[in-house]
Amino acid sequence: MNILACIKQVPDTEAQIKIDSGGKGIQTADIKWVMNPYDEFGVEEALRLKEKAGGGKVTVVGLGPQRVVESLRTALAMGADEAIHIDDPAADGGDSLATARALAAAIKAVPFDLVFCGQRAVDNDNGQVGAALSELLNIPLLSVATKVDLSENKTKVRILRSVEGANWVLESTLPVLITTQKGLNEPRYASLPGIMKAKKKPLAAKKLGDLGLDPGQAGEAGSKIKILGLTPPPERKSGQMVSGETPQEKGAGLVKLLREEAKII
């Protein structure tokens, strides 16, 4: 069983996001970078499936600047066997399709039965790389999984997915791409021996050329969707504290305001 897990490095969710002077990107100086939380679920699920099968290989794939190595090493410390780092400035800043193209080229070079991606990255919130990757690899797509069940003979997989007001059980044939959602599992922490071992595990850096891609096919140059500009979220006008001596007065005062001033109920 060969399992791939794609990871992206993103700003920690507690980070303040400020627009840079160019107006199209964010200030990165004080950002703490972490593995995208949804991708952690993918790495964990890959490890669990390998452990359950009693063998196989888990390979993690990441794209981005040198700092991404840290997240790849984290995945190796959790238990992944190998890592591929697409480390090429020409691969950076791509839209979902351009990014998926680079990932697909790296993944096609290794055998795979299952590919995991987080259902979205918590930076650009595009939620498209997994779907685009399934297209480029020509394999079925199972999205936003909170449960993954592999059939006994490992030819089929079932997932549970929550949609508005319902839950779906979906089934596909292998090889398959699965995007992961919170609730699927509780990702393990890297153990100290795990961290020591990770230092010796294979981590291959690849340029676009190594993957058989031209610079124009990936990264910003290969992107169709461009950011024209960033703006801060609309300011909320400052609110008011509801006064009152007792909980009764405050509660009644609030309901009156919602009814008469805000007119929403």
Partner 1 sequence: MAKGIWIIAEQRGGNLRKISYELTSEGRRLADQSGQPLAAVVVGSQIGEEAKKLIPYGPDTLYVADDPALADYTPEAYTAVLADLIKKHEPDIVLLGASAQGKELAAKLAARLETGMAQDCVSFRLENGLLIAKRPLYAGKVYAEVASETARPQMAAARPNVLAVAEPDPGRQAEIVAVPVELKPDDLRTTLVELLPDASGKVDLTEATFIVSGGRGMKTAENFQVLEELAGVIGASVGASRSAVDAGWRSHTDQVGQTGKVVCPNLYIACGISGAIQHLAGMGSSKVIVAINKDPDAPIFQKADYGIVGDLFEIVPVLKEEFKKILS
Q: Give residues 49-108 in contact with partner 1 (rule: CB under 8 A).
A: 95-97, 100
Contacts of partner 1 in 129-158 (CB under 8 A): 130-132, 134-136, 138, 140-144, 146, 158
Q: Give yes or no for a contact between 132 and 97, defined as CB atoms under 8 angstroms apart.
A: yes
Q: Which is nearer to partner 1, 70 or 171 (CB)?
A: 171
CB of 201 to partner 1, least distance (A): 28
Distance CA 40, CA 74 (A): 10
Contacts of partner 1 in 2-31 (CB under 8 A): 11, 13-17, 19, 26
Q: Which is nearer to partner 1, 140 or 215 (CB)?
A: 140
Residue 231 touching partner 1 (CB under 8 A): yes
Q: Which is nearer to partner 1, 18 or 199 (CB)?
A: 18
DSSP state of 180: E
Q: Give yes or no for a contact between 178 and 116, defined as CB atoms under 8 angstroms apart.
A: yes
| Residues 165-194, mask of contacts with partner 1 (x by CB under 8 A) | xxxxxxxxx-------xxx-----------
Distance CA 253, CA 49 (A): 55
Question: Which of helix, strand or coil describes residue 252?
Answer: helix
Distance CA 31, CA 39 (A): 19
Q: What's the one-letter identity of residue 136?
A: L
Q: Give yes or no for a contact between 142 and 179, defined as CB atoms under 8 angstroms apart.
A: yes
Positive/negative CA dihedral, 177, 42, 72, 226: positive
Query: Which of 66, 59, 54 has the alpha carbon at shortest distance from 80?
Result: 59
Binding part of the chain for partner 1, among 65-73, 160-168, 194-202, 206-214 by CB under 8 A, reads 160-168
Q: Which is nearer to partner 1, 30 or 125 (CB)?
A: 125
CB of 38 to partner 1, least distance (A): 8
Q: Which is nearer to partner 1, 2 or 172 (CB)?
A: 172
Contacts of partner 1 in 103-132 (CB under 8 A): 122-128, 130-132
Region of 165 (left: φ > 0; alpha: ψ -120 to 50; beta: rest) is left
Contacts of partner 1 in 31-50 (CB under 8 A): 37-38
Contacts of partner 1 in 201-230 (CB under 8 A): 223-230
